Amino acid sequence: DQQVKQNSPSLSVQEGRISILNCDYTNSMFDYFLWYKKYPAEGPTFLISISSIKDKNEDGRFTVFLNKSAKHLSLHIVPSQPGDSAVYFCAASSPTSTDKLIFGTGTRLQVFP
Amino acid sequence: DSGVTQTPKHLITATGQRVTLRCSPRSGDLSVYWYQQSLDQGLQFLIQYYNGEERAKGNILERFSAQQFPDLHSELNLSSLELGDSALYFCASSAGQGLNVAFFGQGTRLTVV
């Protein structure tokens, strides 16, 4: 039972344009959502998070949007840079229970010049 | 540098053998999580410890076990290894309370031959 889903395994975007990565979840108990970036042979690196009381959180070029009614979140990267090329994982947790993170399967982003 | 240290980085062993993976969390973090990533797939949650006690269990095989010691470092023990256990094993740590960001180590790549 995949509680966190990233339906696009890959995304290719031109440098300078917007990258939009999507994530859906099924468990309505999730109330904290995070995005991680992962380069090959390295551990995931935390990017940005959002709690369920908000619908948007911004940090520089990265913005996460949360639509609770649709159980959907997205990560926007503007402008995209070649160094953003990596695998992006969304994760969700329910801190009121055990706070473990449940991850999606990841989206490989490639930013080309 | 996330502050989470995993050793060893690489491990090659034969089927049927037993190995121990070690994780030192970030200073002050009480929660340790173990994740498995097979063949560029998503991160599968295995188990979580908080301040020495097991807090949550995921899809961890009975052949696998873990513990967290009084100094908060953790070990993941994998026994009767099979070819399918070959994967990247990540450790993460967090403060363990409230809306947590988990920080990941560089991972241990286990190859079972």
Q: Is the pLDDT of residue A110 over 90?
A: yes
Which residue of B lies nearest to A40 if distances are taken between CA atoms?
B40
pLDDT of residue B98: 65
* Closest CA of chain B from A5, distance in Å: 10
| Digit-coded pLDDT (tens) for B40-60 | 678 999 999 999 999 989 989
Residue B40: per-residue pLDDT: 65
Whether the per-residue pLDDT at A84 is higher than 70: the answer is yes
Residue position matching structure tokens 């709690």: A51
pLDDT recorded at residue B10: 96
Contact A43 B31 (CB under 8 A): no
Chain A CB contacts of B101 below 8 Å? 34, 46, 49
- Please report which confidence band the pLDDT of residue A98 belongs to, taking 50, 70 and 90 as the band edges: low
- CA-CA distances (angstroms) from residue A108 to A7, B36, B51, B68? 11, 18, 35, 33
A28 contacts chain B (CB < 8 A): no
Could you tell me the strand order of the sheet in which A62-67 lies?
A4-5, A19-25, A72-77, A62-67, A56-59
CA dihedral B90, B96, B98, B99 (to 10 degrees): -20
To the nearest 5 percent, what fractions of chain B are helix, strand and coil? 5, 50, 45
d(CA B9, CA B25): 16
* Predicted local distance difference test score (pLDDT) of residue B1: 84
Q: How many CB atoms lie under 10 A from the CB of residue A11? A: 16
Asked if B106 is an interface residue toward chain A (Cβ–Cβ < 8 A), one would say yes
Do residues B22 and B73 make contact, with C-beta atoms less than 8 angstroms apart? yes
